[in-house]
Homo-oligomer: A and B are copies of this chain.
């Protein structure tokens, strides 16, 4: 029988039954999730939202009264909105940044490597300390991709962090080793108006 043939009453009953089963299944799953630990979260992919979602996590943590460290590896002058919003939480945050734009702004590899190292040393201290609850390593993936920092060193520090510390890494082209080490990885994919360019939505992209 199709949905259209059901009466409103039948639809409502069917819905209640379906949702009851869903809730049962969900409650059962939640009951098994008892481990609490700091998560390694990675936002990668070519789409928008990697850094934005990273800052979303930052504001959620700040709202929960947590102490947050932010290390910006390749941004600086942009994102003034976040900067101003963060000022309201100045007693809860530490921000370190290269203060430079993207690498194509500087066009100087040695300078970029030195800048990455400087930010990393400060980020490392925040990952290792007993003070910060969450550390955002914004655009670290770009720095790792260009081999401006040794992957082994970075992974070693992240994996040796205090048990309850959350670390969030953003940037496209996340290294496989980082993805393997992570607890939660989201790939942000840009959906490019497939209809407008005449491509059917089903091909390659699930909505």
What residues of chain B lie closer than 8 Å to A47, measured between beta carbons? 186-188
Q: What's the Cα separation between A47 and B44 when bound, in Å? A: 12
Q: Known: A12-B110, A176-B201, A190-B186. Contact between A19 and B64, CB under 8 A?
A: no
A81: min CB distance to chain B, Å: 3
The complex is assembled from copies of this chain, and their number is: 2
What residues of chain B lie closer than 8 Å to A179, measured between beta carbons? 191, 193-195, 201, 207
The contact string, 1 if C-beta is below 8 Å from chain B, for chain A 142-180, is 000000000000000000000000000000011010011
Q: What's the Cα separation between A191 and B44 when bound, in Å? A: 10
CB of A49 within 8 A of CB of B186, answer: yes
A47: min CB distance to chain B, Å: 4
A127: min CB distance to chain B, Å: 21
CB under 8 Å from chain B, chain A span 4-40: 11-12, 15-16, 19-20, 22-23, 26
A79: Cβ under 8 A from any B Cβ: yes
A80: Cβ under 8 A from any B Cβ: yes
The 8 Å CB contact of A82, one of B22, B60, B206, is B60
CB of B49 within 8 A of CB of A63, answer: no
A2: Cβ under 8 A from any B Cβ: no
CB of A49 within 8 A of CB of B44, answer: no
CB of A59 within 8 A of CB of B43, answer: no
CB under 8 Å from chain B, chain A span 31-68: 43-45, 47-49, 51-57, 59-65
13 further contact pairs, Cβ within 8 A, besides A49-B188, A182-B193: A16-B107, A19-B106, A22-B104, A52-B56, A52-B57, A60-B81, A60-B82, A61-B81, A63-B80, A63-B81, A63-B82, A63-B84, A185-B190
